[in-house]
C-alpha cells in the first residue's frame, strides 16, 4: 500500500497530475484531476470501507444481522 497522503492516479484518465482540493465534512481529502477535471472525494479500493458502509454495518449489527451475512452482502471481510 502507498502512504496515506500519496496521490493515487486519476480513476478516470489515470493521470497523476492531481491537486488536493479541500476536504469533505468527513475530513476526507478531495482531489481534482488537472488533466480531465474529474474530482474525487476519496479513492476507494477493494479494502476500503466507507463511513456509509461502516454506518450500515453498525446498524445491521444492532439489528442482529450476523457478521457472516454482512460480510456476504458487503464483500467486507470479517477481519
Ligand atoms: Zn483525470
- β 18-23/29-33 pair status: antiparallel
CA 64 to centroid of ligand 1, rounded, Å: 42
From 58-62, 63-67, 74-78, the region with the lowest mean pLDDT: 74-78
Q: Torsions phi, psi of 67, nearest 5? A: -60, -35
pLDDT at 46: 47
With a CB cutoff of 8 Å and minimum separation 6, the contacts of 76 are: 49, 53, 57, 70
The whole-number average pLDDT for the span 50-56 is: 80
User: pLDDT band for position 37 (50/70/90)?
Assistant: very high
CA 38 to centroid of ligand 1, rounded, Å: 6
The whole-number average pLDDT for the span 27-52 is: 77
Residue 1 has pLDDT above 60, yes or no: no
For residue 29 the three cell numbers come to: 481529502
CA 74 to centroid of ligand 1, rounded, Å: 28
pTM: 0.43
Domain edges within the chain: 10-43, 46-79
CA 47 to centroid of ligand 1, rounded, Å: 22
C-beta separation of 45 from 53 below 8 A: no
CA 69 to centroid of ligand 1, rounded, Å: 36
Amino acid at each position: 500500500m502507498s502512504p496515506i497522503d500519496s496521490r493515487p492516479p486519476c480513476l478516470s484518465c489515470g493521470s497523476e497530475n492531481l491537486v488536493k482540493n479541500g476536504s469533505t465534512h468527513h475530513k476526507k481529502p478531495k482531489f481534482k484531476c488537472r488533466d480531465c477535471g474529474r474530482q474525487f472525494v476519496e479513492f476507494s479500493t477493494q479494502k476500503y470501507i466507507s463511513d456509509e458502509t461502516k454506518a450500515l454495518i453498525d446498524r445491521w449489527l444492532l439489528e442482529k444481522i450476523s457478521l457472516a451475512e454482512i460480510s456476504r452482502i458487503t464483500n467486507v471481510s470479517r477481519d
